[in-house]
Amino acid sequence: MLKLIVKRSFKKDRIRCLKNKKITEDKLSAMISKLQEQTPLEVKHKNHVLKQWKNCKECHIEPDLLLLYQIQNDTLILSKAVYT
């Protein structure tokens, strides 16, 4: 299991998404758990590497809610949650 580091920008985005009822805490924590356990994500999550940001990946929690993260050594870094 990967150690978890949560950036300040992710914390703010998380609060904003939960406050606006864009997502439930259960869905968000389930996705984070899958990433921490390094479980392969389903195709619907469209997990992929971002070319413009070094070592950064993106997955879709919902069709319009993106999670930006990095995996470095044995650490999962949550960078941003973007609602489009």
Domain coordinates in residue numbering, the chain: 3-83
pLDDT in tens, 5-20: 999 999 999 999 888 8
Classify strands 56-62 and 48-49 as parallel, antiparallel or unpaired.
antiparallel
Confidence grade of residue 22 (pLDDT, cut at 50, 70, 90):
confident
Banded pLDDT at 66 (limits 50, 70, 90):
very high
Taking the domain 3-83, which CATH number applies?
3.30.2310.20
Helix axes 25-36, 8-19, angle to 10 degrees: 150
